[in-house]
Amino acid sequence: MKRNRIQRYSAPERINHWIVALCFIFATVSGLGFFFPSLNWLMQILGTPQLARLLHPFIGTVMFFAFLLMFFRYWRHNLPEREDLLWAKNIHKIALNEEVGDTGRYNFGQKCVFWAAIASLLLLLASGIVIWRPWFADAFSIPTIRLALLVHSVAAVGLIIVIMVHVYAALWVKGTLTAMVEGWVTDRWAHKHHPRWYRTLRQRQPK
């Protein structure tokens, strides 16, 4: 670890993240093609509409289990804390790119994105299994399949919104994208945005 840099994400963590991101892009684009007739051409991202219908559920399944690895890595860091209430109360300052409170590895906004993403993915997986032809759909009644289609669509929209917020925040806070591309952040970035996490890491360093 260089004195003026801190490792935020290891190579396996970054690879895991980008696998999820790539699957999200393919699943979202092909899914929008299924949902809107005028966007059928988007299914060509996976070759042909027929191939897209075949691959879409498999890609979604890979995305779920890849995110599940992230969940097991980070869930402890995303548990609610007292500092989160202070962060939420001062959201107007956060919007002006100020930092509030003694934030750990993740702030309250990041925690909301994390839990909303896993909730959306659980709904997508459960509803996706019900509507997955020819493997599972025949085991369910038509009303159940219709309900699953509604849940799948709503959960998909929810996940798209969550990821849009995530991407916007990553681009808005300078230095955040570097962490997920190269793995490191500067001391100044860590001290400003995640001071408690920064202190914890520095205390672990050998003198």
Percent of the chain predicted with pLDDT > 70: 97
Closest to 172 measured CA to CA, from 110, 83, 86: 110
Q: What's the domain count of the chain?
A: 1
Pairwise CA distance, residues 203 & 117, whole Å:
32
Give this prediction's pTM. Answer: 0.90
| Predicted confidence (pLDDT) per residue in 74-110, tens digit | 999 999 999 899 999 998 888 777 888 899 999 999 9
194: annotated active-site residue: no
Q: Which domain holds residue 193?
A: 5-204
SS (H, E, C) 50-74: HHHHHHHHHHHHHHHHHHHHHHHHH
| Predicted confidence (pLDDT) per residue in 111-126, tens digit | 999 999 999 999 999 9
Catalytic residue among 166, 191, 193, 194: 166
- Each of the 207 residues of the chain gets a pLDDT tens digit; together they read 455 889 999 999 999 999 999 999 999 999 999 888 888 888 888 888 889 999 999 999 999 999 999 999 999 999 999 989 999 999 888 877 788 889 999 999 999 999 999 999 999 999 999 999 889 999 999 999 999 999 999 999 999 999 999 999 999 888 889 999 999 999 999 999 999 999 988 887 655
Instruction: Provide the CB-side half-sphere exposure for 189 (13 A, CA).
Output: 16
Which CATH number fits the domain that encloses residue 54?
1.20.950.20
